[in-house]
Structure 1
Amino acid sequence: MAQACFVLVHGAFHGGWCWRGVADGLRRLGHEVYTPTQTGLGDRSHLMSADITMATFVRDIQSTIEMEELNEVILVGHSFGARSICGVSDIIPERIKHLVFIDGGLPFDGRSRLEGMTAEDRERRLARAEANGGTSVPPPDPSAFGVSDPVIARWLRKHLTPQPLGVDTSALKLKNPLANGIPATYLRCTLPAFPGVEESAAFARSQPGWHYIEIDAPHNVIVTHPELTIEFLDTIAKPANIKSML
């Protein structure tokens, strides 16, 4: 029997492929691991559509959990994936044991990703989408995610795909408070600190009952530091040991 069940949700421009090193390591430790790709990205990039919204992304992860008949799930969202797992926890909290946000943007104020941007960043985002046909936003250079290793950067450039614009423009409608009463841990990456999640990190740090942890690693820690990510998630699977990370 597996020690714990992980569902790992990728961020913007990525896909299930980005968890390869982390997933392999967790499986070696005896955990059950799923790495679904959200519609329009990665191995599902051929499904890109103007109809993709946050509801689509949430349904992608919900369907994986339900079809695989998973329970007691440790649901992990990296970066933009934090929004998706918030939506899933709002719908099927009975299947989720713990929420883990890795340097994620949280929909704590009800606004869409686009609405939460500065006017300048919003205009830049829309301009990039318009230049890409209006349906999606092309991926940035890996350096935007704090990746400096040239080998890792080349690998990412081969795999990153455009992000559906609809998930940026659509709000995530939650019926319950964020996290829906499920135990939650927020991992903030600080070397360098990713500029898009300061407010989310501050919100997470202020939440009673949440664990908030900072580490000296870049935003794309799941790719640049897989062993560190494995150690962190393995500790989450053993609640008695989490205090050692605080």
Structure 2
Amino acid sequence: MSSTHAIAARTFVLVHGAWHGGWCWRFVADRLTARGHRVFAPSLTGLGDRRHLLAAATSLDVPIADIENLIESEELSDVVLVGHSFGGLVASGVADRRPDALRALVFLDSLLVENGQAAFDVLPASVVKERMDSMTASGQTLGMPVNGLAGTGIPDDHPLADWVRRRLTPHPVATYRTPLTLKHPLGNGLPCTYVHCANPSYETLAAVREHVRALPGWQWEAIDTGHDAMVLAPDLLVEVLERLAG
């Protein structure tokens, strides 16, 4: 790393959200790499460049195993694990199983559940119904269809709107229906920070954020960008991630 950077080189594992893939981290990963960090941004089973494996994403344990196995096969340690949106569930599971490999957890506008809860248990009933209705209408049985840029915070006229739209893929519904199994408290004693993307705020996660504010020992930050911060404000996000990596 260049001597001009006072920040120590870290290892980041970036976990994307629903309908996305590792591709969404491109601008953040490029910047972190240029600043001397090691970065992994895999696509979870059934999504992005692994969308052909939709049928293999049979439960929430599958994407958790994706990241566990990445950590194991690359022999990673002291990892700053970042979970965006749905990826927060994955990061929670990995932290429960492999705390020894982690340095810190960053939940970026994340969906979070407690032990024994599924994603659909904590989302507004109207959102769950809308997603299930869209599956019925599309004839899909395994994946929740893409609903354009809804919820991303990316305006239709944003320069990268079409770039994102082209890459979104159906999300394996099983990962929302199956509960998260935790043997330890959420976060497993690791340094945890929740980063709220506050402009515009993603109201679907309002109840989740309220729950997080009550968790003992967790840090809280708000940043001035929309839900898909990695696309909308990569420079700002890199600055936040470097600071939280310590």
Query: TM-score normalised to the size of structure 2?
Result: 0.92
* Corresponding position of 2:206: 198
Work out whether 1:61 is the aligned partner of 2:67: yes
* Corresponding position of 1:215: 223
Work out whether 1:186 is the aligned partner of 2:186: no
**What are the within-5 Å matches in structure 2 for residues 42-81 of structure 1?**
42-49=48-55, 51-81=57-87
2:152 to 141, 145, 155: 145
Amino acid at match of 1:93: P
Residues 88, 112 of structure 2: 8 Å contact kept: yes
1:87 is displaced (CA, Å) by 0.3
Q: Which runs of 5+ in 2 are unaligned?
A: 2-7
1:119 is displaced (CA, Å) by 3.0
State, as a whole percentage, how many aligned pairs show the same letter: 40
Q: CA, structure 1 residues 25+114, in 2 after alignment: closer, same or farther (shift >3 Å)?
A: same
1:109 is displaced (CA, Å) by 6.1
Greater CA deviation, 161-170 or 133-142?
133-142
* Corresponding position of 2:92: 86
Residues 129, 165 of structure 1: 8 Å contact kept: no
Secondary structure in structure 2 of the residue aligned to 1:151: coil
Secondary structure in structure 2 of the residue aligned to 1:142: coil
1:237 to 234, 241, 245: 245
The 4+ residue runs of structure 1 with deviation greater than 6 A are none
Query: TM-score normalised to the size of structure 1?
Result: 0.92
* Corresponding position of 1:244: none
Q: CA, structure 1 residues 132+225, in 2 after alignment: closer, same or farther (shift >3 Å)?
A: farther
**What are the within-5 Å matches in structure 2 for residues 91-130 of structure 1?**
91-108=97-114, 110-130=116-136
* Corresponding position of 1:170: 178
Residues 80, 104 of structure 1: 8 Å contact kept: yes
1:208 is displaced (CA, Å) by 2.5
* Corresponding position of 1:241: none
Aligned length: 238
Greater CA deviation, 109-118 or 54-63?
109-118
Q: Which runs of 5+ in 1 are unaligned?
A: 239-246
Residues 50, 135 of structure 1: 8 Å contact kept: no
Greater CA deviation, 160-169 or 130-139?
130-139
